Amino acid sequence: MSEDYFDDESPDRPAKASVGEIARYMWRHWRSQPGKLAGFGVLFAISATAELMLPFMSQGLVNALTANEPGANPAVLWAYGAFAATAFVFFALRNIAVRFWIPFAANNMRNLVQDGFRDVQRFSADWHANNFAGATVRRVSRAMWAYDMISDTIAWFVLPAIIVLVGVTVSTAIQWPLIGAFVAITILAFFASVYLFGRYYIARVNRESNAADTAIGAALADAVGSNATVKAFGAEAREQQRFNAVAQDWRDKANRTWTRFTNAWIVQNLLLFALQAGVVGLVVLEWANGRANAGDAAFALTSFFLVNGYLRVLGENFQMLQKGFAEIEDVVAYAKQPAEIMDAPDAEEFRRGAGAIAFERVTFQYNGQDEPLYKDFSLTIQPGETAALVGPTGSGKSTFVKLVQRLYDVNAGAIRIDGQDVRAVTQASLRRAIALVPQDPALFHRSLRENIAYADPDAPLDRVIACAKRARAHDFITRLPKGYDTEVGERGVKLSGGERQRVARARAFLADAPILILDEATSSLDTETERDVQAAMAELMAGRTTIVIAHRLSTVREADRILVFDRGRIVEQGPHADLVRGGGLYARLHALSVGDKLHAA
């Protein structure tokens, strides 16, 4: 049983997005709100300046205290007032800056998850087939919080730390070059340790734990989404065991990652100890040599506490940045990845006509296949004609309808609908002109009204009801406690197979498209449901160009033309009786049929 939920989660894979690409992506979101960003920036700059002034205020206060006798001395009071005012400005402006930051961050997080969803939607059917839905959901939702982690870390920790560290180092070096040099060397050593540990000791295991985290979401979605199958086979214990293995894998990799973080902190804490002991020792040495007074010592100690406060968490924050970069890179990669199927720059809206379909010398090859499935393939389906596609599995029937919908682009030739090349019109307008009733209709976890009205969300209720009646769905809907407001569950699990098919047909009635694609269900239905479904299907097909991937003899017999596919070619075509008499592939499939089911393998 495979445990590989994704092909691209190996820790040895190259990064999906570089640090520069992630930085540009973040900046694009930041600059989308210039007013809030500017307001935050001004308040932040003033508060950072106030924080840098605190060591000087401490120095002035201690010098005033040591230069005057105890008592209400104006110089002491002024020095204290300056210290308190500087501290108040720092804290007050930081708090006000937060008021700018909260809506700024919330707006950007909303925009990011919206962009991620839009990018995922624009990818092709092939992309979605190759990417597990649960993993994609987890990646997009995780990226939103990764953005929050990166932004907060940069704005509230990394930038202030850089300003304070540079400012303190320069001001210390001006007064005591030796102490300034020591502080600079120690800080550089600290930064070097953060970088080296992050890149060469932590990065790989961090990617491994992220991949394991994604696998948890994928495993949950896989099992929960297939719960009916799990219960049908009494496989709850087996699925629990499978999920436990995934969770255990995450636990092992998370432990290894967190342990390496802790090991890196040991080295960084030793550097902080060296900075503390060295600065205090050097200040004492300067005092002993008469080159420092009590105020200078207060300046040095206050500076150390500022530096120590930032350095103590700087390593953690750089590791948080690394984690955030790893978690947001998928969405950044989505943003830069071009869609496989794109509208032409000058694409026009599709003009609905009678529904004529023409394949003109089409060549099509799936990615990863050695040979094209279709080669120099030509076919015309007349307006209003019902064409039944039959043939063995893998013969090209499903590919045919996917190409009509332009879910893939052909490698050569052209597909025209009502004389319009499908590549020259917008995808959305083209697909609105094609009603699809799949073999296993997928419904949204929304109300029945919303599901039926998906083809036209603005349709009034009376039109929704009229279409439900035509699809023989109205009666069962009205028997439900909430009627058309009843939610159907994920993928429509609260409904039977026949009920889902009726809802899908009601949706197709509402679309009122000139072209209908119908992939017949292979499952057996009870007699009454079968009769209703067939009656609704006949009414739905009337007056439309209909392409049916047929699994039933009753449907095939009623078709205007049967197209027999084999290995990407139409090897036979014509009405049912003629093809049976012809003794070819269709006749063999017909001879192997059981009841009303057409043999297709």
CATH of region 357-591: 3.40.50.300
> Could you tell me which residues come within 8 angstroms of residue 93 by beta carbon, excluding any fewer than 6 positions away?
43, 44, 46, 47, 50
pLDDT at 587: 85
Cα→Cα distances 128→140, 144, 377, Å: 14, 21, 27
DSSP-derived letter for residue 197 is I
pLDDT at 558: 81
d(CA 418, CA 357): 7
pLDDT at 366: 87
d(CA 306, CA 185): 17
d(CA 363, CA 410): 6
Give DSSP secondary structure letters for 77-140: HHHHHHHHHHHHHHHHHHHHHHHHHHHHHHHHHHHHHHHHHHHHHHS-HHHHHHS-HHHHHHHH
Q: Which residues of 39-48 are buried (b: 16+ CB within 10 A; e: fewer)?
A: bbeebbebbb
Tokens 């599709």, residue? 350
Instruction: Tally DSSP H helices, then E strands, for the chain.
Output: 21, 10
Q: How many residues does the chain have?
A: 601
pLDDT at 521: 56
Angle, in degrees to the nearest 10, between helices 34-67 and 159-175: 30
131 — alpha (psi -120 to 50), left (phi > 0) or beta? Answer: beta
pLDDT at 4: 39
Q: Which of 175, 165, 170, 164 is nearest to 282 (CA)?
A: 175
Q: Give strand pairing partners of 389.
A: 549, 563
Residue 447 phi/psi, 5-degree rounding, is -70, 160
Task: Provide the 3-class DSSP secondary structure of residue 422.
Answer: helix
Sheet holding 374-381, edge to edge: 374-381, 357-364, 412-417, 420-421
Distance of CA 470 to the CA centre of its chain: 38
Q: Is residue 43 a contact partner of residue 97, using CB atoms and an 8 Å limit? A: yes
pLDDT at 69: 63
Distance of CA 138 to the CA centre of its chain: 7
Burial class of residue 506 in the structure, from the number of CB atoms within 10 Å of its CB (0-12 exposed, 13-18 middle, 19+ buried): buried
Give the DSSP H or E segment for 412: strand 412-417
**Residues of the chain falling short of pLDDT 50:** 1-7, 522-523, 601
Domain parsing of the chain, residue ranges:
19-336, 357-591
Superfamily of domain 19-336: ABC transporter type 1, transmembrane domain (1.20.1560.10)
Q: Which of 410, 439, 424 is nearest to 568 (CA)?
A: 410
CA dihedral sign, ordered 353, 358, 363, 368:
positive
Give 140-180 pLDDT, tens digit per residue: 888 889 999 999 988 888 888 888 888 888 888 888 888 88
515-519 and 545-549 strand pairing: parallel
d(CA 517, CA 505): 11
Q: Is residue 579 a contact partner of residue 587, using CB atoms and an 8 Å limit? A: yes
Give the DSSP H or E segment for 163: helix 159-175
pLDDT at 29: 92
d(CA 118, CA 112): 10
